Structure 1
Amino acid sequence: MKTILKSVLTLGLVAGLGFAANAQKAATADASATVLADLTITLDVTQDEIAFGNLSANTPGAIVLDANGITNSNTGSVTNVARFDLGGANSAVTVSYDATVTLSNTDITPATMTMTPEVVGSAAATNQETATAVASGTTVTLVANEYFLWVGGTIPALLGQATGTYTGIFNIEVEYN
């Protein structure tokens, strides 16, 4: 009787293990990576800053530095639009940048102004005037391993703005998709 009971228990254990083994499943997935040329972004040596020029402390309207370089409004006579040169593989790239830039003076009485950037881009360095708007988070495509971004911006009207030289930092990032 003991032998039969041991045999039945052993048979039950083996059968139970067989059912547990059938419950386990497996799957696979391919793994891959595409290695592209190093993505670079450099500030042009000539168009190397966003400069609104000399402004009046009581400029009644918005100060607009046109990124396309066509229509400035209420800026000083000497202005500059920054240009960033992208290099890398002919691939899609996401462009991200600051929504606003705080410009601060270094005078005894500190003051600030807020600049809203305007960014336009083109695959040709000679196309600044016809470059199209590039919103932050937008995807652009490098052509012939390059792409160009121009940056201007807008400052609201100045009403009794403290005098002095105002500076700030514009941050821009690019990343392969």
Structure 2
Amino acid sequence: MKTTIKTILTLTLVMGLGIMANAQKTATAPASATVLANLTITLDGTQSEIAFGTLSASTPGPVVLGANGTANANTGTVTNVARFDLTGADNPVTVTYDATVTLTETVGGVATMVMTPEVVGAALSTDQAAASAVPSLSAVTLASGVYFLWVGGTIPALATQATGIYEGTFNIDVEYN
């Protein structure tokens, strides 16, 4: 009798597992990836820094270095906007950069001033003057595998600014969408 009960319980357990196994269903999802040409961003060898020039501590208004190479105000005589060269696939690219850059006096390291960057871009290196604004977190599309970004900016009036040499670093990132 005990053997019969054990056999019935074992058969019931096996049948129950079989029913549960039949209740299991599966599904699938496709997986894919698109591999694009390596995306690079390099600082141009000639337009390699954002330089407002030599300024007077009594500059009354904002110092404006136009990224298009025009519309400068209160800058020194020798100025420069930075140019970044993007290379990769003809695909949308998100451009992200610092909203502000702190410039710190290099000797004492106490005095600072804040630069607000201006970034413009174009598909041709000769189109700086006509380049369009590129806000941070916006997308640009490479054409024939290239795109160019120029960076200038604005510094507030220097009426009470300590004298000295000021330096800082502008950070920019690019990523395929």
Return the letter of the residue paired with 2:78: V
SS of corresponding position for 1:129: coil
Report the Cα offset of residue 14 of structure 1.
Answer: 2.2
Return the letter of the residue paired with 2:150: W
SS of corresponding position for 2:153: strand
2:78 is the alignment partner of 1:73? no
Report the Cα offset of residue 11 of structure 1.
Answer: 3.0
Report the Cα offset of residue 43 of structure 1.
Answer: 1.1
Counterpart position of 1:176: 176
Question: Matches of 2:38 and 2:106 in 1, distance apart?
Answer: 38
SS of corresponding position for 1:11: helix
**Residues 3-60 of structure 1: CA deviation (Å, up to 9, x unaligned):** 5433432332122112321332222222222222111111112211101111111222
Counterpart position of 1:23: 23
Moved more, 41-50 or 103-112: 103-112
SS of corresponding position for 1:149: strand
TM-score by length of 1: 0.92
Provide structure 1 residue ranges, at least 5 long, that are not aligned to the other structure. none
Return the letter of the residue paired with 2:6: K
Matches within 5 A, 1:54-69: 54-69=54-69
Question: Matches of 1:108 and 1:83 in 2, distance apart?
Answer: 30
Moved more, 69-78 or 29-38: 29-38
Question: Matches of 1:151 and 1:71 in 2, distance apart?
Answer: 13
Q: Residue 109 and residue 92 in structure 1: after superposition, are their counterparts in 2 closer, same or farther (change >3 A)?
A: closer
Question: Matches of 2:151 and 2:165 in 1, distance apart?
Answer: 20
Provide structure 2 residue ranges, at least 5 long, that are not aligned to the other structure. none
Moved more, 141-150 or 167-176: 167-176
SS of corresponding position for 2:95: strand
Counterpart position of 2:34: 34
Counterpart position of 2:136: 136
Matches within 5 A, 1:121-160: 121-160=121-160
SS of corresponding position for 2:16: helix
2:80 is the alignment partner of 1:114? no
Q: Residue 109 and residue 7 in structure 1: after superposition, are their counterparts in 2 closer, same or farther (change >3 A)?
A: closer
Moved more, 54-63 or 111-120: 54-63
TM-score by length of 2: 0.92
Question: Matches of 2:140 and 2:108 in 1, distance apart?
Answer: 43
Counterpart position of 1:162: 162
Total equivalences in the alignment: 177
Counterpart position of 2:100: 100
SS of corresponding position for 2:50: coil
Question: Matches of 2:15 and 2:22 in 1, distance apart?
Answer: 11
